[in-house]
Chain A
Amino acid sequence: MSEPRNLLQGSTGDWEVVVGLEVHAQVSSKSKLFSGASAEYGAGPNENVSLVDAAMPGMLPVINKYCVEQAIRTGLGLNAKINNWSRFDRKNYFYPDLPQGYQISQYKDPIVGEGEIEVELDGGETIKVGIERLHLEQDAGKSIHDLSPNESYVDLNRSGVALMEIVSKPDMRSAEEGAAYFSKLRTIVRYLGTCDGNMEEGSMRADVNVSVCRAGNYDKFRETGDFSHLGTRTETKNVNSIRFAKQVIDYEARRQIEVLENGGTIDQETRLFDPKTGETRTMRSKEDAHDYRYFPDPDLLPLEFSQEWVEEIRASLPELPDAKKHRFMDAYKLGAYDAAVLAMDKTKADYFEAVAAGRDGKLAANWVTGELFGALNKADKDIDASPVSAAQLGSLIDLIKDGTISGKIAKDVFALMFDGEETGDPAEIVEKRGLKQVTDTGAIEKIVGDIIAANPKQVEQVKEKPKTMGWFVGQVMKASQGKANPQAVNEILKKKLGL
């Protein structure tokens, strides 16, 4: 039995929060799930609409094989069971942006079954989150209510676009864990190339399920599988950022505890999140819930494919973030945290590997996660917009390694390149600006001699307290404008001061 995690204190005792996410990820596909219309974002209203998407009489859906392949890829990336036989069902409800009067989805027999992923938390801890299922379904169109006082407009560009709904198990136990899971899922689909993960464009959004229970009850649920140990959950729809998901969980947990502690009950309901207030509010209660009258879509045959095809897809998978993380730890001797930071974003990982190739991996990681990420962060830039290329950073590290420049000078050169004051090969920049390290012992000896002669007090002091030699090092470096080789400075100082 595990310790209850992340207890929340109420006025009547401790509570646990239980979180599950249903994430809708738009399949990166040129065309829609059941029609040849373009699935591209940003077209004019109703420009990407086929006869099928508009549900004209007599129109029939035909499955897009590419979308099926992406769902399988994603399932494999989630370490999940791929169902070689699955089926599409109709989910029936009326809405103007749902032209068919039903959404084609997968209800009883999804294409992907149970799986599990590793999720890294900020503190460096890793948790496992179970995947319940992944299924394919059509997106609806968009109703626009604010263009006219009397009329609503409908844009069907999204109607029929392929979505993967990825349902987690109720394995997350805090806002942080929920957010970390959402973020990890995004990392995985972006790695796989099955979804662009672009939340502003609506490519990824989550329905966030939250419940609270008394401390210890979650473990009873885990032991028995009996959901009655858990509290009643609410579902907050269409949360389109990781930060918002975190806010939803925090807000809902606190709200539910307050309701319960005041003797109230939680309604199983659908809620909406208001990013302006950070609060959720009731959208639809259980009594108003639709009866969707799911039944197998008779226009489509069951979706069947061979295991050979699944294996072909498996063989074509890229290295996934968890595997990459472990490889970085082994091959470059990185710590788990640095390895995870670098591996979770494919562009960052690729950048790091380009820098580290044939070099000291640890030093490369320090430069990438420290100097580079720091500068990018400050400049609010993505790694693919980095003014310093991996090749430049690699050369810069080479200059440190071969003693051409010191680490400090390297930072100056990096800043020059990052700010765009210098471009091109760092070696040439160093040459041009005369930043090469002085290794000429004669020159250093002269500077050291001058400084010892000018500071008799310090010389006496250093003989009693050898640690104060650092002061001399600083003086020498200052006098050499940082170009003196620190190792040579140290040796000469020791010799001349008789330490």
Chain B
Amino acid sequence: MTDLTDLSLAQLRDALKAKDASSLDATEAYLSRIEKAGDLNAFITVAADKARAMAKASDEKLAKGKGGPLEGVPLGVKDLFCTEDVLTTAGSHILDGFEPKYESTVTRNLWRDGGVCLGKLNLDEFAMGSSNETSFYGPVVNPWRATGSDAKLTPGGSSGGSSASVAARLCAGATATDTGGSIRQPAAFTATVGVKPTYGRVSRWGVVAFASSLDQAGPVARDVRDAAIMLKSMAGHDPKDSTSVNVAVPDYEAALGASLKGLKIGVPKEYRVDGMPAEIETLWRSGVDWMKDAGCEIVDISLPMTKYALPVYYIVAPAEASSNLARYDGVKYGHRAEEYDDILSMYENTRAEGFGDEVKRRILIGTYVLSAGYYDAYYLRAQKVRKRIFDEFVSAFEKVDLILTPSAPSAAFELGAKTADPVQMYLNDVFTVTANLAGLPGASVPAGLDKDGLPLGLQLLAKPFAEETLFKGMYALEQAAGFDATPDEWWA
């Protein structure tokens, strides 16, 4: 029998349904791979006992011919999702010892559908980062290496634990979140599929907040079908999240393989940056050809506001974060400084010790842009530009059904390469932040390798709640790219 961890999520699901495999066996296989993959540092918490108990319960259901759409499938959870009685850290020292007494809506939905929780995945602290290097628990290492090199590369961020664990087959699929590209960029860096749904498609309840108007949860998976299956379970209206939208969740898997004939694909000329490798440009052109071959009509479009997206993002996101992170004050839960004289020094010492540099930087930026005298010039102006970016997409989507761009301006880079220059790091998000600012669904699909043998991804963007069209396009890209490379298991 093949190694159960070699099966895609869809294959494992089918094998479990057909009783060709047991969830407990699959879970044990994953747990043993996780144990050997310590060098990747993908997990903050391995919930082995919980996983085994859930797997056994799934096996009982499966034995009776029952069970949900994910019954018995072992999954990883980004450690930004609150999980009942399981340590939840957000990658931060300040949440030391925090075990929620509640389960986030997304993970609750996954367990309702039969998913098995393997544990909690590493991430940038409070999801603030593009390389997973801001985590209090240390960086995650990308399973991929450049040909002939043993330099450690970033798996991307902030969902680096999610992308690395899926790429290294430490789980059948993983939850992730995307505030400015935190699902799509790591997916591109690890040859996995990452989907950021429409804002409001997936509940934010129980997800540690970074920037509320931008945060959206989605899956990182091995292929497009797996991503479709996971999103179907994760999505849905939640009355506990006022920004969640009451729109029925379609069967995304059923959309795969549908004809793309007549679909219009927009190619925006502004999705280029200085110093972007020629291979990315070439791959993008291949993507255009693949879509053309699939029967799509290609439309050149212009999105001139794109150049303002990154500055707008780095005003809006830190502003919201500075307020969202005020609750971590050492009073109620998590870390509290041992030394303090009064309430003010308790706050100061707790937060000075509990937050890392990048989180502090963003709290400072956010506090600054919301301050009296600066609010109009920064926050208010950024909101106005954000509206323009949204309007620009609305008019573009009057002409096209999907927009095709590169996922990131580079392949995975070495750990430490950009930590000294935050602006260089922020540039990673240049192609992805627009979808967050406009609330659009977007996805990254593995499309090829660069000259160093590192994966590159292509991004598709769609209209709000047009995830079915998005999945149709993703599947076509996947089919055309025929990407089947896997990383060498140097860590095992």
Contacts and interface: CB of A to CB of B under 8 A. Distances in A.
- The finding on whether chains A and B are genuine partners in a shared complex, rather than unrelated, reads yes
Interface of A: 51, 54-63, 90, 92, 94, 96, 99-102, 152, 154, 291, 293-295, 298-301
B204 A100 contact: no
Contacts of B326: 92, 94, 100-102
B56 to A, nearest CB: 29
B82 interface: yes
Interface in B329-343: 329, 331-333, 343
Given A94-B347, A101-B327, A293-B367, A56 B333 contact: yes
A301 B205 contact: no
B388 to A, nearest CB: 18
B38 interface: no
A104 to B, nearest CB: 11
B208 A57 contact: yes
Nearest to B207: A58
A60 B242 contact: yes
Nearest first, the 7 A-B pairs at minimum CB distance are: A101-B326, A298-B213, A298-B212, A293-B370, A58-B206, A55-B327, A57-B208
Given A58-B209, A59-B205, A94-B347, 11 more contacts: A55-B332, A56-B333, A58-B81, A58-B208, A99-B331, A99-B332, A101-B327, A154-B331, A293-B322, A295-B323, A295-B375
B98, B326, B333, B371, most chain A CB atoms within 10 A: B326
Contact of B242 (A61, A101, A294): A61
B252 interface: no
B88 interface: yes
B209, B239, B242, B322, most chain A CB atoms within 10 A: B242
A57 B323 contact: no
Interface string B275-298: 000000000000000000000000
Contacts of A55: 327, 332
B464 to A, nearest CB: 15
A298 B329 contact: no
Given A56-B102, A56-B333, A57-B100, A299 B206 contact: no
A385 to B, nearest CB: 43
A287 to B, nearest CB: 13
B327 A58 contact: no
A299 B331 contact: no
Contacts of B379: 295
Interface of B: 81-82, 88, 90, 95, 98, 100-102, 104, 204-209, 211-213, 239-243, 319-320, 322-323, 325-327, 329, 331-333, 343, 347, 367, 370-372, 375, 379
A62 B326 CA distance: 20
Given A56-B100, A62-B240, A99-B331, A90 B88 contact: no
A99 B243 CA distance: 22
A291 B371 contact: yes
B135 to A, nearest CB: 16
Contacts of A294: 370
A238 to B, nearest CB: 20
A90 B332 CA distance: 20
Contacts of B95: 57
B120 to A, nearest CB: 13
Nearest to B214: A298
A100 B322 CA distance: 12
Contact of B329 (A90, A101, A295): A101
Nearest to A92: B323
A101 B102 contact: no
Contact of B323 (A61, A99, A293): A293
B371 A57 contact: no
- Secondary structure of the B contact surface, majority rule: loop
Contacts of B371: 291, 293
A312 to B, nearest CB: 23
Contacts of A298: 211-213, 243, 320
A58, A298, A300, most chain B CB atoms within 10 A: A58
B204 A99 contact: no
A154 B329 CA distance: 14
Contacts of B332: 54-56, 99
Contacts of A295: 319-320, 323, 370, 375, 379
Contacts of A291: 371-372
Contacts of A54: 332
A101 B351 CA distance: 13
A301 B242 contact: yes
A170 B88 CA distance: 51
A425 B290 CA distance: 97
A94 B207 CA distance: 22
Contacts of B98: 57
A152 B331 CA distance: 11
B37 to A, nearest CB: 28
Nearest to A90: B323
A59 B343 CA distance: 25
Contacts of B320: 295, 298
B370 A299 contact: no
A406 to B, nearest CB: 68
Contacts of A299: 209, 212, 242-243
Nearest to A297: B212
B342 to A, nearest CB: 10
Nearest to B209: A58
A99 B327 contact: yes
A89 to B, nearest CB: 10
18 contacts: A56-B102, A57-B327, A58-B206, A59-B205, A61-B242, A62-B240, A99-B331, A100-B326, A101-B325, A101-B327, A102-B323, A102-B326, A293-B323, A294-B370, A295-B375, A298-B212, A299-B242, A300-B243
Nearest to B104: A58
Nearest to B213: A298
Contacts of A99: 327, 331-332
A56, A57, A63, A295, most chain B CB atoms within 10 A: A57
A60 B367 contact: no
Contacts of A293: 322-323, 367, 370-372, 375
Nearest to B343: A96
Contacts of B323: 90, 92, 101-102, 293, 295
B213, B240, B319, most chain A CB atoms within 10 A: B240
Contacts of A96: 329, 331, 343
Given A92-B323, A101-B323, A60 B331 contact: no
A56 B11 CA distance: 38
A63 B206 CA distance: 17
A58 B207 CA distance: 5
Contacts of A92: 322-323, 326, 370
Contacts of B325: 101
A317 B100 CA distance: 44
Nearest to B379: A295
Nearest to A58: B206
Given A92-B323, A96-B343, A295-B375, A60 B240 contact: yes
A327 B34 CA distance: 81
Contacts of A57: 82, 88, 90, 95, 98, 100, 208-209, 327
Contacts of B241: 60, 62
A396 to B, nearest CB: 57
Contacts of A60: 204-205, 240-242
Given A58-B206, A99-B331, A291-B372, A51 B242 contact: no
A99 to B, nearest CB: 6
B339 to A, nearest CB: 15
A90 B370 CA distance: 11
B114 to A, nearest CB: 23
A102 B243 CA distance: 19
Contact of B82 (A58, A63, A94, A102): A58
Contacts of B211: 298
A313 to B, nearest CB: 22
A94 B208 contact: no
B239 A62 contact: yes
Contacts of A102: 323, 326
Contacts of A152: 343
